[in-house]
Amino acid sequence: MKIHEYQAKELFRKYNIPVPEGQVAFTPDEAVQVAQILKTKDNRYVVKAQIHAGGRGKGGGVKVVDSLDGVREAAKQIIGMQLVTHQTGPEGKKVKSVLVEEASSIARELYISIVLDRATARPVIMASQDGGMDIEEVAEKNPERIIKEFIHPVIGLQPYQARKIAYALNIPAEGMKDALKLITNLYKVFIEADCAMVEINPLVVTTDNRVFALDAKVDFDSNALFRHPDIVSYRDLDEEDPLEVEASRYNLNYIKLEGNVGCLVNGAGLAMATMDIIKQYGAAPANFLDVGGSATDEALENAFRILLSDETVEVVFINIFGGILRCDKLAEGVVKAARKLEMRLPLVIRMKGTNVDLGKQILADSGIQYAVEETLEAAASKVASFLKQPVA
Ligand code: GDP
Ligand code: MN
């Protein structure tokens, strides 16, 4: 689960990770009020679009201004805009709010983040002196400019490791104490809040050698959210895919994808295999959907409805292994849902497992239109044949 920068900075404050003074605003008037409260010495402020995507600076979503009028103008421009960045996709994201902060006098822009490294099964701290808006390019062209420090999950971050990172970042002596505290506390928040990622880009060194988080990005492990009701309250459903939000209401594992084959599968492994094989046959999945091992009629109906309300779906492919969910139960659920939702799209069904013959009989007797196939290959090929755009 992602959150906004202003929320991430609120979380950072609780962990004594220094961030600039500032507050969120939903209207230009509010933005000016926030600026008035901040009362900066030099009247310089920064107004930042709050969306769940990075790259805002390059997309025109971050503006440094030098007056209260400037704050109002910037907020007027940014709130309501459809902000397009390299992370939003071409359609962009509508901006609902801005973070208004005191502007900082930046001497250097650094980078630091923590993610879980699957290969070593350890948290890894990544850091670079080349932070700022071109970090992706650094990662691609000069990966040696990004250092990695792996943390033993039981022992935790050791002080020598924090020092190693700070030295690699060439932190000035005056800022060293703050930097070490920041690195230590960043690891603390990563572990305690069950984060999938924390990222500060840029981590800045100011002209007077202070070190703090100018930007803040946090992504939480959704499977651990039950432990963090305070963090769940940060969730912004407007930033998430509406179909994914609905699916999460019914505990369906659904992820929207780019293709046009609606896939209804039980078990994550089979769902992955299904996506792979239809790709091999030239079709592409419109979604990942695992209805789970013990899907009820209700879950099937909800799954169906979500698939069908996705306008990009041209074909529905049901691929089920009848284990806990028996094939006859599945067939009944499918027939019910297809009737109730007046399904008009081509439907391809492949099922195997417990009570498969009974399941097939139920489908055959139902009068609904569908194609049934025995093997995954034949089913995938059938699916591809139904696409409007013939595939190679
Ligand atoms: P992102 O583009 O979405 O990652 O947004 P950031 O918060 O990282 O801001 C983008 C860039 O705007 C930073 O890399 C800075 O160069 C610049 N910026 C942001 N805040 C300030 C500020 O207070 N003062 C100055 N001078 N530049 C800033
Ligand atoms: Mn940034």
Count other Cβ atoms within 10 Å, centred on residue 249.
10
Indicate the pLDDT class of residue 8, thresholds 50, 70 and 90: very high
pLDDT of residue 128: 97
Please work out whether the CB of residue 18 comes within 6 Å of at least one atom of ligand 1: no
Please work out whether the CB of residue 47 comes within 6 Å of at least one atom of ligand 1: no
- Given the structure tokens 């969120």, which residue do they identify? 24
pLDDT of residue 300: 85
Percent of the chain with pLDDT over 90: 80
Q: Rounded to whole angstroms, how far apart are CA atoms 215 and 350?
A: 49
pLDDT tens digits, 143-159: 999 999 999 999 999 99
Query: Fold identical between 1-20+106-240 and 21-103?
Result: no
pLDDT tens digits, 224-283: 999 999 999 999 999 988 898 888 888 888 999 989 999 999 888 999 999 999 999 999
Cα three-residue angle 104-108-111, rounded to 5 degrees: 100
Q: Name the E strands within 267-346.
A: 287-290, 315-322
Torsion (CA) 324, 328, 333, 339 in degrees, nearest 10: 170
Lowest mean pLDDT among 37-41, 91-95, 359-363: 37-41
Gap from CA of 153 to ligand 2 centroid (Å): 27
- Read off the pLDDT of each residue in 307-317 and give the average, rounded to a whole number: 93
Please work out whether the CB of residue 99 comes within 6 Å of at least one atom of ligand 1: no
The closest of 84, 1, 71, 76 to 40, measured between CA atoms, is: 71
Is 156 in contact with 189 (CB distance < 8 Å)? no
**Which residues are bridge partners to 110 per DSSP?**
203
* Residue 104 Cα: closest atom of ligand 1: 23
SS3 content of the chain, % helix, strand, coil (to 5): 40, 25, 35
To the query of whether residue 199 is one of the catalytic residues in this protein, the response is: yes
- pLDDT of 391 higher than 70: no
Domain residue limits, the chain: 1-20+106-240, 21-103, 241-387
pLDDT of residue 227: 97
Gap from CA of 391 to ligand 1 centroid (Å): 45
Please work out whether the CB of residue 104 comes within 6 Å of at least one atom of ligand 1: yes
To the query of whether residue 111 is one of the catalytic residues in this protein, the response is: yes
- pLDDT of 41 higher than 80: yes
Write down the CATH superfamily of domain 21-103: ATP-grasp fold, A domain (3.30.1490.20)
The per-residue b/e assignment along 134-164, b for 16 or more CB within 10 angstroms, e otherwise, is ebeebeeeeeeebbebebeeeeebeeebbeb
pLDDT tens digits, 186-209: 999 999 999 999 999 999 999 999
Q: Which residue of the set 111, 187, 254, 281 is catalytic?
A: 111
pLDDT of residue 99: 98
pLDDT of residue 297: 80
Q: Rounded to whole angstroms, how far apart are CA atoms 343 and 369?
A: 9
Atom 8, ligand 1: residue with shortest CA distance: 215
Of these ranges, 161-170, 324-333, 362-371, the one predicted with the greatest mean pLDDT is 161-170
Percent of the chain with pLDDT over 70: 99
Gap from CA of 123 to ligand 1 centroid (Å): 27
Of all ligands present, the nearest one to the C-alpha of 200 is 2
Count other Cβ atoms within 10 Å, centred on residue 25.
23
Of all ligands present, the nearest one to the C-alpha of 57 is 1
Gap from CA of 41 to ligand 2 centroid (Å): 25
* Residue 131 Cα: closest atom of ligand 1: 14
- pLDDT of 392 higher than 60: no
Q: Candidates 43, 62, 98: which one to mutate for ligand 1, based on the most atoms within 8 Å of Cβ?
A: 62
Q: Which residue of the set 5, 101, 149, 199 is catalytic?
A: 199
- Read off the pLDDT of each residue in 211-236 and give the average, rounded to a whole number: 96
- Read off the pLDDT of each residue in 383-392 and give the average, rounded to a whole number: 79
Residue 279 burial (CB < 10 Å; 0-12/13-18/19+)?
Answer: middle
Encode 78-101 in three state secondary structure: HCCCEECCCCCCCCCEECCCEEEE
Give the SS3 label for residue 140.
helix
pLDDT tens digits, 113-137: 999 999 999 999 999 999 998 899 9
Gap from CA of 339 to ligand 2 centroid (Å): 49
Into which CATH architecture does domain 241-387 fall? 3-Layer(aba) Sandwich (3.40)
CATH class of 1-20+106-240: alpha beta
Indicate the pLDDT class of residue 140, thresholds 50, 70 and 90: very high
Calculate the average pLDDT of the chain.
Answer: 94
Polymer length in residues for the chain = 392
Is 354 in contact with 327 (CB distance < 8 Å)? yes
